[in-house]
Structures are given as structure tokens and as C-alpha cells.
Amino acid sequence: MFYAQKVDRRSRAAMESFLSHHFTYGGVFAHRAKLHHLGLPKPLEDKAWEVFTSDDDYWSKIWDPVRDFQESHGHAYTILNAGRSSGYLALHHSQSVWTEYRSYCRTCGQRNYRKVAPALPDDPLERAVATEILKNGGSWSDSAYLGQEAIRSLPNTDEEKLAAIRRLKPEWKEYSSTNRCGACGAEGEEGRVNYAKPPMHLQILGGVHREDPIEMDIDELRYTVDLVLSFDRTCDRVRDRFIDLLQHCEVREAVVMVPQTIRTLHCAC
């Protein structure tokens, strides 16, 4: 354990001391994570510089422990890279929120804010109404739909037609007319489908500031100590992942040709 310490949770004094001596960055519980503060032997530190200056995003390869941390705290806390050149790991409040995405593309994964329409209703009136609403996203007034040829020509009374328009519009205006993906153009079996539940997104809130532990009641003190210990252990696991990556990966240099469009002047004079 590099960051984590042992704390006697039976002792109020030990817990107070642990919190008041814990490293903070801008008042927020944190750890130093600059390369020369990772306690690495020289050859690994040199390797770390190589990895640090490579063009690959190595953070995503060592970040799993933070996802476990989020999960085990009900997404109420997370850990961020903070400070210049991500020199610190800092404990933050967070919350899980529903995204506005309603469907995604089965070919390219692109997310979309609109739902894909289900099969059209069987009833001829409902079918005509749903089709007309899909055509323009339900943006017309009820009486404007009533005037559409496909609806006007049906034998139902105007009252029945208006009732169907009012009933179907709130739902059918949420649907896009096809399941074509705006990004890759896939449709039909390859195109967009609705999420069973909209995906969640982790919203990051402010840092967890160190309050004066003397002011805390015993439950709050224990809760904070447990949280910070869990934070410390997670930082250790991220550091372990990083060391593992240093031992098993190497930076290879390659020259790549990048296609480029150039516009030059050609004159006939």
C-alpha cells in the first residue's frame, strides 16, 4: 500500500488525526500523482515518462478500480484527475443521472434523442393519425391534422377523429419517422433501436472538502474515514495498474502519413 494507511476505527483520536493529516489539494481529499511522486524505482520512472508522453490515452487502461469505487458507493462519489497535468487524484461528489438518449444504432453505436416508432396501429383511423403525426413530429394543431386527406377521407365523425388525434399525438410526436441512423445511415435490422431504459451518465459534482473532524459526530467521523480509506485504496489500485502497465507495455514509435487536402492556385495566365 502506497497511499492507504491503517486507522484504528475504535479510536476517535486516531480517526481525527487520520483525517486532519490526510493530503488535500485545494481543501479536497487528494493524493499526489505526478510521476516523480509515485515512489517508482528509477527505471520504471523513466518508462513512466515515455508512456506519459505517448499519444495513447493510458488512463482508460488503468481506470477500472475507479469504476468499481463508483459502483460500491452508489455513484455518489468518484475520483478525478485534478490539477496541472493531472498531477493529483481528488475525491469528488457525483450522482448518476438518466441521459436524454432514447435509442442507439446497432451498427455504429451512435446515440439518438428520439425513439424509434413501434409498428403502426391496426385500426384504420389510428393508423392514419399516427402516420400523419410521424410525418412532421406532431408539430401541427389538432384541426390541421383533421384536414389531412388521409384522415378527412375516413368515415369516422370529426369528434372521433379529434379524439384519436389528441390521444395519439403526445406519444407519436416523440417518435422519429424511420430508424435510420444519422451518423452512419444504417436502417432496418441494422438501424436504431430503443433503449429498454435510457442509459445513465455520471454527473460530477464538487470536491469532498475536509471539514474539521473535531466538529463531526462519531457516525459522520466513521463514515468520512471509511470513505477516505476507500478512496486511498482505490488510488493504490490505480497506481498498481499503472505499474503493471509500465512492466508489460512499451511505447513504439512509428511515422504515419496523414492524408491531407490542399488547395493550390493554378493559373492559365
DSSP H or E run through 35: none
Taking the complex as a whole, the smallest distance from the CB of residue 78 to Zn ion amounts, in Å, to 12
Taking the complex as a whole, the smallest distance from the CB of residue 104 to Zn ion amounts, in Å, to 8
Query: Distance of CA 261 to CAs 51, 264, 267, Å?
Result: 31, 10, 19
Taking the complex as a whole, the smallest distance from the CB of residue 232 to Zn ion amounts, in Å, to 19
Taking the complex as a whole, the smallest distance from the CB of residue 208 to Zn ion amounts, in Å, to 19
Comparison of 34 and 167: residue with beta carbon closer to Zn ion:
34
What letter would DSSP give residue 22?
S
The rounded distance, in Å, linking the Cα atoms of 46 and 40 is 9
Size of the chain in residues: 269
Cβ contact 173:131 at 8 Å:
no
Specify the residue for cell string 413530429.
Answer: 137
Comparison of 54 and 107: residue with beta carbon closer to Zn ion:
107
Comparison of 181 and 208: residue with beta carbon closer to Zn ion:
181
Amino acid (1-letter code) at residue 153: S
Comparison of 187 and 236: residue with beta carbon closer to Zn ion:
187
Taking the complex as a whole, the smallest distance from the CB of residue 198 to Zn ion amounts, in Å, to 14
Comparison of 71 and 189: residue with beta carbon closer to Zn ion:
71
The rounded distance, in Å, linking the Cα atoms of 206 and 183 is 34
Q: Which is it for strands 88-98 and 28-32: parallel, antiparallel or unpaired?
A: antiparallel
Cβ contact 196:187 at 8 Å:
no
Taking the complex as a whole, the smallest distance from the CB of residue 190 to Zn ion amounts, in Å, to 8
Comparison of 144 and 202: residue with beta carbon closer to Zn ion:
202
Interface residues toward Zn ion, by CB under 5 A: 71, 105, 107-108, 110, 181, 183-184, 186
- Cα angle, residue 206 at apex, residues 201 and 208 outer, rounded to 5°: 115
Comparison of 14 and 113: residue with beta carbon closer to Zn ion:
113
3-class SS at 193? Answer: strand
Taking the complex as a whole, the smallest distance from the CB of residue 36 to Zn ion amounts, in Å, to 6
The rounded distance, in Å, linking the Cα atoms of 257 and 103 is 37
User: Per-residue b/e over 243-253, b at no fewer than 16 CB within 10 Å?
Assistant: beebeeeeeee
